[in-house]
């Protein structure tokens, strides 16, 4: 009886470790997805602003795309990639 309880405890501990590892993987995938999208759009914003200027219509439209990526990440993952500090943030602007 004691052996069965110990075995069950060990199995439960192993399953909880696997579940925790799976959660970490999902979170890391979320961060990677948002980071990739954000970095890609940020590069485009930088190019557009360098070419047309920050106050141009092109620059404003490019910054709107960046805000859309921010909102997409927030709605989907309740977080967003902060390129300036290179961190995953969970505050909403």
pLDDT in tens, 14-65: 545 444 444 456 567 878 988 999 999 999 999 999 999 999 999 999 999 9
Assigned domain for 75 exists = yes
Domain that holds residue 44: 28-89
Assigned domain for 2 exists = no
In the DSSP assignment, the letter for residue 78 is: S
Q: Cα(81)–Cα(90) distance, rounded to whole angstroms?
A: 9
Assigned domain for 70 exists = yes
Assigned domain for 9 exists = no
Domains of the chain: total: 1
Assigned domain for 17 exists = no
Does the model's pTM come out above 0.85? no
> In which element (H, E) is residue 93 found?
none
Q: Cα(31)–Cα(90) distance, rounded to whole angstroms?
A: 11
Assigned domain for 45 exists = yes
Assigned domain for 65 exists = yes
């Amino acid at each position: 009886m004691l052996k069965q309880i110990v075995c069950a405890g060990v199995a439960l501990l192993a399953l909880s470790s696997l579940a925790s590892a799976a959660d970490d993987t999902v979170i890391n995938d979320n961060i990677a997805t948002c980071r990739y999208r954000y970095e890609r759009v940020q590069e485009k914003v930088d190019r557009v602003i360098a070419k047309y200027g920050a106050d141009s219509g092109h620059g404003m439209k490019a910054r709107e795309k960046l805000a859309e990526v921010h909102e997409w990440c927030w709605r989907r993952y309740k977080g967003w990639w902060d390129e300036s500090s290179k961190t995953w943030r969970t505050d909403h602007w």
